[in-house]
Amino acid sequence: MRKEIKFSSYRKVPILLANAGSPLQLNDSSVIISAIKTYLISKRKSLEEIVSFYPPMKTVSEKGKETFEYGNKYWLMLDETETKRVYPVKEVRVEEMKWRKWADDWLVHLISPNVYRTPREALASFDYIVREGKFGTVEGFFAKYMGAIAMFFISKRLKKRHHLQDNVREDLYEAVNEWVKAVGKQRLFMGGSQPNLADLAVYGVLRVMEGLEAFDDMMVNTKIQPWYQRMEEVVQKTEFTI
């Protein structure tokens, strides 16, 4: 909730607070992932040092709206030996970056127009949000109905802003099939026998829709299911190899 992130000048979630000697705040899911992954590979570097490699860049629009973008956000800060170990060939690193960016710049924008597509779907989405969130009974009731109505209309604006097709499901189906094609038949994940950060980014976006009509439609109408199931198994085991 907004009141829970009052302490922060960065107004979006996720935010990661790390107790790294002095408290440290990391913003933006891709920066968080790049920083943690760098930290796990290169234990010599402190988290403070790593975070300094992802500088925030603030832009202020004509209307005075502030937005943050972060430098190097898909780049892991590795030395030569670490790079050779994690990315035996350069193409693997380039491919991972390309698809992480694709997940952030395109795939993620398909969620809202799809899960708030109709008033019924918008209500189902908010029913889920309210059930999972920390809402009181009255607060939850209002959040559900007001939220669903607001997001139904906002999602139409987002649909226009990101140039989605009239039938927003089509964009979702095309996107996930494009992803499945990029992974190909020769490997289990884009990362090979284990997921890489591109697999993780795509899984993270799609997982948000679980339990909703958009997710079920996607499972039935695309080729994503086998890869998604493999991801689910690996993530549940929490056995990521570094």
Backbone φ, ψ for residue 71 (5° rounding): -70, 150
Q: Which of 16, 26, 28, 172 binds ligand GSH (CB under 6 A)?
A: 28
Under rule CB under 6 A, residue 58 binds ligand GSH:
no
Q: Which of 1, 11, 46, 153 binds ligand GSH (CB under 6 A)?
A: 11
Q: Which of 29, 114, 155, 222 binds ligand GSH (CB under 6 A)?
A: 29
Shortest Cβ 181–ligand GSH spacing (Å): 24
String marking each residue 77-106 x if it binds ligand GSH according to CB under 6 A: ---------------------------x--
Shortest Cβ 234–ligand GSH spacing (Å): 22
Q: Rank residues 2 and 90 by Cβ distance to ligand GSH and give the closer one.
A: 2
Q: Rank residues 14 and 88 by Cβ distance to ligand GSH and give the closer one.
A: 14
Binding part of the chain for ligand GSH, among 27-35, 58-66, 90-98, 212-220 by CB under 6 A, reads 27-35
Q: Which residues bind ligand GSH (CB under 6 A)?
A: 11-14, 28-30, 104
